[in-house]
Chains A and B, each alone.
Chain A
């Protein structure tokens, strides 16, 4: 434990800004992964245990596209679109066979794909650590806000995630498609009886969830190292986020992700060895006091 370092940081505005931004980008990346997870759970009622793989594929797709074209925008697009297609195929061919089956069965199918996807990445891109590198457009002087160092890329990352959150939230509550999705989450039989193709909605939601995770991976590619199995820690953390925020709640995912990001960045100062433990401790405390999560609906 190093509480002096934590107290010292809290009293200095430079350190406060640096740690808060680093907490925010961890939180925003987590949010993009977790919101897909929570969306898929809310509508399809399955826990997508292979969600981390989409994050991983997003990062690798982005890296390859960037190396081929040199365009950062195309890299992001490749990460998002590639994983969306992957999600659609995965849902239609495999996951749709285990709806209504035992939770363990759904888990096993996902577990199998976690193993398969990791090896596929190992075969295509190799087992070693890869790096995409920071695009030249962002290789500029970092900004100084109240004495704290903030790389411009971080601002882009936070901005993109915020836009995604707003578009998603507004899309679900305001548009017709959003209403249909919410109706399908509530009562798929009735939606189907009204002449709406629920299979298409399920596939679409899964693709959307996969796309968000892929986008998170693509955004993370310039600032993190790429390795097979990189989706795993992200998966566990985004699970914590969804459980803390409440399964199926988008606002919950946002709040949960930001809390977790801040716990990570400030916790690493005060408890350098127990940072992960802090997150699990936080999850236990939330679940014990409110089992459905901060923003979860009470189970019937």
Chain B
């Protein structure tokens, strides 16, 4: 080939879009046209996963991987590489030895196994033909034409797939319950109300490969005997909603959705409902109330949704990632699925890896991999030479896993055994500068705000727990607070109406279990060992000060005074403890104690 490149893939996931990838796509189209290279295709894709290197641009078939591309770099790539045949070396992604490597050769991908994300980054999510070319709708065709509903359900059961929303309930059983539930009208629902702070797996699937969810829901409809489905997605995900709408429109037009699908006489219609900012709507019965246009408070279970769900009818409800596994299980079989992961938790899991880790992004790994492998081999370790302190899984319902458990295999049971949970897939790494009492307070504040108010243990208990944590981090904690905190945690856990309240004390309980010395330091010594709780800190100027006045200029509260070339001092009454002075000092003369 003349120029080695006839396709340019630009990531248009949320991370890269925030980094101006739409402008990059536009620039490529203009530059290519202007250079008479309009036969080179510019393809907008879903998330590649390596968000910290975004915006990402890949050229094919020569497989060059450009990272951190800016809109202004496009002209150079077109001129030098696409027209001139010489890749722009300075923009190519470099591996651990400084050599340019292609995307999937990067260390980040070596231990990954991409099933759910297989098509993310490879196809244009707004183009149904791309989806079909990459194996799309083969599962639907097989299920509808060559399998009975019972056969579909039994393959899912045999696969051992467990719900990826967090709790890990066996998916096949849910399908079987709904299939066997009496009633002529049934529903299939997709839970895309991804609310855990620091989790964006489901969004990336919906943005990168929306048709895989549409296809899986249609298969589910066939299996359980439903002719109508709803996708409940957060209103905060405008791009995902847009791509779903495009996908559903195209599927309808091509006869993969709607009436008489693939001429088999099977009807299945799908609509989108979006949430309006309520974390509790991720709880399945609260979600059903919200789809019905009511406030999202949970319902008493039993009856379970499989028996009496949406509008009082039997309803199958699964999470996005769960659905994204279905098509591949139908086409490749239960044994193939069981060949990945562990016997109790087969398959893969997608994690949103974030926080104090070098490679931030979306990773899909076989179950059973250890935390250490994810953080160090895939995530590239902790930045700035700092040490690992804890990893947080399961969001506000999960827990903080300390260094002593870093070799724990990731599966549903192992995480539960150490007090955390799989959760939906947020995995936040924290370095040794993070205060664990502060983290517990952060999650508790989140839960206080998100408690729906239906039951007293959650509504009131969490507020009281938050108050105690406020006191401890504010330097007013007393030793009796710890016993009270534990008692409240137990009570909220045992008495709350739904899983939101029952799991809300987990961040407190795990930090308590693994980092008790930090709680004690806050209470007994009035010190925050990590140096984060501002009420327990003081900034001081040491004798190293050269009197450059930079700190005084940086101070937002005008709390620093001193003459030029003389030692400065900080007025503790005015200081807001923001740390700006510390960053501004060229000789590191300001310390935090």
Asked if A pairs with B, the answer is no
A residues adjacent to B (C-beta < 8 A): none
B residues adjacent to A (C-beta < 8 A): none
